Amino acid sequence: MSGEADILDEVTPELVRRIEEALADGNSSEAKSLLESLSATDQAAVVEQISEAQRDQLIGLLKRDLDPEMLTELDEDVLEDVLDQLDSKDIAAAARELDTDDAVNLIEDLPEDEQREILAELPAEERAEIETALAYPEDSAGRLMQSSLVKVPDSWTVGQVIDYCREATDLPDDVYDIFVIDRVGRLRGSVPLGRMLRTKRPVPIMDLADPDIPSVNVMTDQAEVAHLFRDRNLVSSPVVDDTRRLLGVIMVDDVVDVIDEEAEDDLLKMAGVASDDMHANTIQTTRQRAWWLSINLVTAVIASLVIGQFEMAIEKIVALAVLMPIVASMGGNAGTQTVTVAVRALAMGELTAANTLRFIGKEAAVGGLNGFIFAILMGSAVVAWYGDWRLGAVIGAAMVCNLVAAALAGTLIPLGLQKIGVDPAVSSTVFLTTVTDVIGFLAFLGLATLFLL
């Protein structure tokens, strides 16, 4: 029995194989039993790892027995496939078990007619909450917040608040802060639950409330919300409208998801991948990646045109053809290091007008020093290899030029893109590659033409 329990504690290849075999053998009861023994997160991991055909078979077996929390853990492509197997009543049943923000995430990408069918299956109060959330922009605090929270009038005492929390039936499962509002619903402050429980019952709740509690406007971008939670070490934050009327609360677990999404999004964009296509089909993945590959092809043609201008020099000195990729490669790698730091600093709000010039100067100095170091190393190697000190000097000078250019491009390109309203994570590497290739080839082949022919 202990070995069986160990297997069910986590998603192992053995467990996935057993579920696949049970499905293949038509043993639905065993497959269902194995899956239901797992947590929601582990169930999602299993559903993502099995084939699409077996996934459809498994979802068909479970239907309304699906753990709603499992649906919130699925990759977007897999979730889309799973929802295709469920009818509006099944999805509505799952949405009823979820917090407002999770229910919105579940149905927000569905066609409008399907959304309406699902919402029609929900009780009026829950339907109104979800419809309100869907009306906010996709990446706003309004989509991120949940409407279930503890809010009390500013005229109450601690004793009244405690009695309310004991008797109310619609409070959230996890409560960290009590939010205090005035008679028209405007936020006046918050009280940590622990502080309230240590206070005598007759004390007015406003005596404990912190009026300076950080709040976010309902239209605030989710990336700004994540920065606020990180900078202020928040567990929860109230969401208000322009008149400070309390609308909902954002919890730290949802912000962790946002941080993961933002980091993943930037990483994928810098690699020229529009979205995580791990679970997308072959045609869809090919179409998404072809766009950026076509842009890279254009930049490669530009670099080739530069090389073509020095065709005579390359014909006379064959060593140039052997050595020129080294200069471009070093510049590309150095530029990638700089642009990664710059994009990350911009995303985190660390690179501002106050320190931009200092950052550019530092990166240019780093590029120059590294260029000098590798110029000596590569120049010495070329002299030893070809016995020509002039060729060694040319490649060394080109190395310095390209690494300095790479450092400058790695800082100025993302800064310039952000200035004109373009996401630096999307386009920086494409432009960087063009700059380092062109400058590298131009410097090396141009210097070689001047001093070796």
Tens of pLDDT, residue by residue over 14-62, are: 888 888 888 888 888 888 888 888 888 888 888 888 888 888 888 887 7
CATH no. of 151-270: 3.10.580.10
For domain 2-136, the question of CATH label 1.25.60.10 is answered with yes
Residue pair 399/405 in contact by the 8 Å Cβ criterion: no
Per CATH, the architecture of 282-452 is what?
A: Orthogonal Bundle (1.10)
How far is residue 11 from each of residues 52, 59, 140, 182, measured CA to CA in Å? 18, 18, 34, 49
Please report the pLDDT score of residue 101 as a whole number: 83
Rounded mean pLDDT, 318-345: 87
Q: Where in the chain is the domain with CATH 1.10.357.20?
A: 282-452
More confident residue, 255 or 6: 255
Please report the pLDDT score of residue 363 as a whole number: 93
Which residues share a beta bridge with 179? 151, 190
Residue pair 36/65 in contact by the 8 Å Cβ criterion: yes
Q: Where in the chain is the domain with CATH 3.10.580.10?
A: 151-270
Angle in degrees, 0-180, between the axes of helices 40-49 and 52-62, rounded to the nearest 10: 140
Q: Is the dihedral of CA 59, 63, 66, 71 positive or negative?
A: positive
Please report the pLDDT score of residue 8 as a whole number: 43
Rounded mean pLDDT, 199-215: 92
Please report the pLDDT score of residue 409 as a whole number: 92
Report pTM: 0.61
More confident residue, 256 or 263: 256
- Phi, psi of 176, rounded to the nearest 5 degrees: -115, -35
Rounded to whole angstroms, how far apart are CA atoms 445 and 171?
72
Report residue 376 as tokens: 């000596």
Beta pairing, strands 216-217 & 187-192: unpaired
Residue pair 414/342 in contact by the 8 Å Cβ criterion: yes
Identify the residue whose tokens are 């309203």: 421
Residue pair 310/449 in contact by the 8 Å Cβ criterion: yes
Please report the pLDDT score of residue 109 as a whole number: 84
Is residue 152 very low, low, confident or very high in pLDDT (cuts 50, 70, 90)?
Answer: very high
Please report the pLDDT score of residue 273 as a whole number: 54
Q: Count the Cβ atoms, other than its own, within 10 Å of residue 272.
A: 17
Please report the pLDDT score of residue 279 as a whole number: 55
Is residue 407 very low, low, confident or very high in pLDDT (cuts 50, 70, 90)?
Answer: very high
Q: In what order do the strands lie in the sheet with 177-181?
A: 151-153, 177-181, 187-192
Answer yes or no: is pLDDT of 394 > 70: yes
Q: Where in the chain is the domain with CATH 1.25.60.10?
A: 2-136
Identify the residue whose tokens are 């730091």: 341
Q: Count the Cβ atoms, other than its own, within 10 Å of residue 412.
A: 19
Answer yes or no: is pLDDT of 241 > 90: yes
Closest CA to 440 of 309, 315, 325, 317: 325
